[in-house]
Amino acid sequence: MFSCDPRANYLAHKKEIDRAIARVLDSGSYILGQEVAAFEDEFASYVGVNFGAGVGSGTEALHLALLACGVGEGCEVITVSHTAVATIAAIELSGAIPVLVDIDLDTYTINPHQIEEAITKRTSAIIPVHLYGHPTDMESITTIARRHKLLVIEDCAQSHGAAIKGRRTGTWGDIAAFSFYPTKNLGAMGDGGMVVTDDPELAERVRLLREYGWRQRYVSELSGLNSRLDELQAAILRVKLRYLDEENRKRCALAATYDEILSATNLNLPTCAANATHVYHQYVVRSKRRDALKEFLQKKGISTLIHYPVPVHKQAAYRGRLRCVGSLANTERIVKEILSLPIYPELTPDKVRYVAQAILSWDHGERV
Alpha carbons 337 and 158: distance in angstroms, whole number: 20
13-27 pLDDT tens trace:
999 999 999 999 999
In total, the chain counts a number of residues equal to 368
For the segment 7-16, the average pLDDT, to the nearest whole number, is 97
Sheet holding 123-126, edge to edge: 51-55, 193-197, 175-179, 151-155, 123-126, 76-80, 97-101, 323-324
133-180 pLDDT tens trace:
999 999 999 999 999 999 999 999 999 999 999 999 999 999 999 999
| pLDDT above 70: percentage of residues in the chain | 99
Q: Given a cut of 60, is residue 367 above it in pLDDT?
A: no
Q: Given a cut of 50, is residue 132 above it in pLDDT?
A: yes
302-326 pLDDT tens trace:
999 999 999 999 999 998 889 999 9
Whether the CB-CB separation of 261 and 364 falls below 8 Å is answered with no
Report the DSSP beta bridge partners of residue 55: 193
Q: What per-residue confidence (pLDDT) applies to 338?
A: 98
User: Exposed, middle or buried, 367 (CB in 10 Å: 0-12/13-18/19+)?
Assistant: exposed
* CA–centroid distance for 64 within its chain: 16
Q: What per-residue confidence (pLDDT) applies to 368?
A: 43
261-271 pLDDT tens trace:
999 999 999 99
Query: Could you give all domains of the chain from N- to C-terminal order, each with its CATH number?
Result: 6-100+108-241 (3.40.640.10), 244-367 (3.90.1150.10)
Q: What per-residue confidence (pLDDT) applies to 3?
A: 83
The closest of 214, 217, 280, 275 to 247, measured between CA atoms, is: 280
Alpha carbons 19 and 87: distance in angstroms, whole number: 35
